[in-house]
């Protein structure tokens, strides 16, 4: 799955008004739901796509929602930005057919993995430089180290930090620091939702954050929800 797409499934959940830095796609998995976006109430909708920093609220007390959060400056995020017309800040889906049309997927087939595949399939084919591949593999295996710096990456592939940063951004659409941050956040969210006995402080340390306040800051900034809120809803939210 694309590193810059975080997929969650929420059941019977009402989320307070919030905003975040990621693009977000929210789709009903069964029952229609209500949402307030930028102060406008939409009732009985199938889903929506919103830009970063757009205030919204969801009420799905009797259904299941699929939620996709996407890093705005990744290649998939930049591709998604082309879905909006003019000054649109969001797109509301009143029917499944409208969702099918936007994402160009077969009718009556709204499996979230198919939507992710549709998003990724629009990206230009890229043969990744072996140095970028090596850095991605390093992050996968060492994301929990809090002492990682740009020089750490540069030493691995024998490039200057600036040259490596340019190469990585050219091939992924995002910076090395954002890639590392998303890797840490994904793992922190996974542990929060699957290991209920582990404290949030331990999760923060175990995923490369300096402390819990730093994890809180980045979680809220990117997804509009601190890890504490996820932990209390861990029986209602699952991560793909």
- The per-residue pLDDT for range 48-87, each reduced to its tens digit, is 999 999 999 888 888 888 889 998 888 888 888 889 998 9
Phi, psi (rounded to 5 degrees) for 107: -60, 150
Q: What is the pLDDT of residue 1?
A: 46
* pLDDT tens, position by position, 83-109: 999 899 999 999 888 888 888 887 766
What count of other Cβ atoms lies within 10 Å of the Cβ of residue 190? 15
What count of other Cβ atoms lies within 10 Å of the Cβ of residue 108? 8
- And the tokens for 174? 């995002």
* pLDDT tens, position by position, 168-181: 988 887 889 999 99
Q: What is the pLDDT of residue 17?
A: 77
Radius of gyration of the chain from its Cα atoms, rounded to whole angstroms: 18
Q: What is the share, in percent, of the chain residues with pLDDT greater than 70?
A: 96
Domains of the chain (ranges, CATH numbers): 5-121 (2.60.120), 130-232 (1.10.10.60)
- How far is the first Cα of the chain from the last one, in angstroms, to the nearest whole number? 10
pTM value surpassing 0.85: yes
């Amino acid at each position: 799955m694309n590193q810059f797409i975080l997929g969650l499934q929420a059941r019977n959940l009402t989320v307070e008004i919030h905003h975040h830095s990621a693009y977000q796609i929210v789709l009903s998995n069964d029952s229609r739901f209500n949402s307030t976006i930028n102060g406008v109430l939409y009732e009985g909708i199938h889903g929506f796509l919103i830009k970063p920093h757009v205030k919204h609220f969801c009420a799905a007390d009797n259904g299941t929602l699929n939620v996709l959060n996407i890093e705005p400056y990744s290649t998939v995020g930049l591709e998604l930005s082309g879905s909006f017309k003019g000054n649109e800040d969001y797109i509301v889906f009143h029917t499944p057919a409208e969702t099918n049309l936007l994402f160009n997927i077969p009718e009556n087939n709204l499996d979230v993995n198919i939507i992710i595949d549709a998003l990724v399939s629009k990206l230009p084919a890229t043969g990744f430089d072996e140095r970028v591949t090596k850095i991605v593999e390093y992050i996968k295996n060492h994301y929990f180290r809090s002492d990682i710096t740009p020089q750490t990456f540069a030493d691995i592939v024998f490039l200057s930090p600036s040259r490596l940063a340019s190469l990585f951004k050219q091939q992924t659409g995002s910076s090395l620091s954002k890639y590392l941050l998303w890797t840490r956040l994904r793992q922190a969210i996974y542990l929060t939702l699957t290991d209920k006995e582990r404290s949030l402080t331990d999760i923060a340390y175990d995923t490369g954050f300096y402390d819990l306040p730093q994890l809180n800051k980045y979680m809220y900034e990117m997804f509009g929800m601190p890890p504490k809120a996820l932990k209390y809803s861990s029986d209602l939210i699952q991560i793909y």
